[in-house]
Chain A
Amino acid sequence: EAGVAQSPRYKIIEKRQSVAFWCNPISGHATLYWYQQILGQGPKLLIQFQNNGVVDDSQLPKDRFSAERLKGVDSTLKIQPAKLEDSAVYLCASSPRHPGPTLGTEAFFGQGTRLTVV
């Protein structure tokens, strides 16, 4: 079974430029997450999709970040314009969990995209 694919692996941009990250989740996984991992910290959820609908984007800086999930499969995360504090690893994860009362479903992570804003 193929894992979660992300591209690019690394990206260096200047502040105020724009950047986009791509994620292809594991086939059949309904839930897709984008996490931001700043150096020295744990991953923080930016946005969560259930199929192609947004479930939670409460931590997404909507003035500069946007995300979409096309046809409930692939997803892109965009930053425009980037700031120095956006330097981080952006992790995409997917989960086979469907809505319901049972918790404890494993999330599968991609290798991440390391963004450096200079």
Chain B
Amino acid sequence: AQSVTQLGSHVSVSEGALVLLRCNYSSSVPPYLFWYVQYPNQGLQLLLKYTSAATLVKGINGFEAEFKKSETSFHLTKPSAHMSDAAEYFCAVSEDNQGGSEKLVFGKGTKLTVNP
């Protein structure tokens, strides 16, 4: 079974500072990786996904993530944090499921706080 580990359940940054949210994966096959964001009392929204086309993936709202096979990592970054980035972020890996389907396996999440 595949899995992801998110290091740090809480990350706090100042507005304008670099955002770095860490995700490491465990997979026996080339992984398909996702970052989702969840704003308070909302569902999950896709930020970006890696599907082996390019190791540096750009997403919405200025976020990007780099796939590093040697480090089994897929860390999420944003050069300059904005107050509106305060949310919970989930890393997920896509896994083969029965009947040719797929499912997402999520990490425990990292709550990002942005201080003025």
Instruction: Please list the residues of chain A having a beta carbon within 8 angstroms of any beta carbon in chain B.
Output: 4, 6, 31, 33, 40-45, 48, 50, 53, 55-56, 91, 93, 95, 97, 99-101, 103-112, 114
Once the chains bind, are B43 and A112 in contact (CB under 8 Å)? Answer: yes
Q: With contacts defined as CB atoms under 8 Å apart, how many contacts are there between chain A and chain B in the complex?
A: 79
Once the chains bind, are A41 and B108 in contact (CB under 8 Å)? Answer: yes
- Beyond the given A4-B43, A43-B104, A56-B101, could you list 20 further A-B residue pairs with CB under 8 A, ordered by the A residue number? A31-B101, A33-B104, A40-B9, A42-B90, A43-B90, A45-B103, A45-B104, A48-B101, A93-B44, A99-B99, A99-B101, A100-B100, A103-B51, A103-B102, A104-B49, A104-B94, A104-B102, A109-B36, A111-B41, A112-B42
Instruction: Please list the residues of chain B having a beta carbon within 8 angstroms of any beta carbon in chain A.
Output: 9, 32, 34, 36, 41-46, 49, 51, 90, 92, 94-109
Contacts of A31 in B (CB 8 A): 101
Q: Which residue of A lies closest to B100 (CB)?
A: A99
Report the separation of the CA atoms of residues A4 and B95 in the bound assembly, to the nearest whole angstrom: 22
Q: Which residue of A lies closest to B9 (CB)?
A: A40
Once the chains bind, are B102 and A105 in contact (CB under 8 Å)? Answer: yes
Q: Which of B36, B43, B44, B102 contacts A97 (CB 8 A)?
A: B102
Report the separation of the CA atoms of residues A95 and B102 in the bound assembly, to the nearest whole angstrom: 10
Q: Which of B43, B96, B101, B103 contacts A109 (CB 8 A)?
A: B43
Contacts of B108 in A (CB 8 A): 40-42
Report the separation of the CA atoms of residues A18 and B20 in the bound assembly, to the nearest whole angstrom: 42
Report the separation of the CA atoms of residues A40 and B34 in the bound assembly, to the nearest whole angstrom: 19
Report the separation of the CA atoms of residues A106 and B104 in the bound assembly, to the nearest whole angstrom: 9
Report the separation of the CA atoms of residues A91 and B106 in the bound assembly, to the nearest whole angstrom: 13
Report the separation of the CA atoms of residues A56 and B90 in the bound assembly, to the nearest whole angstrom: 22
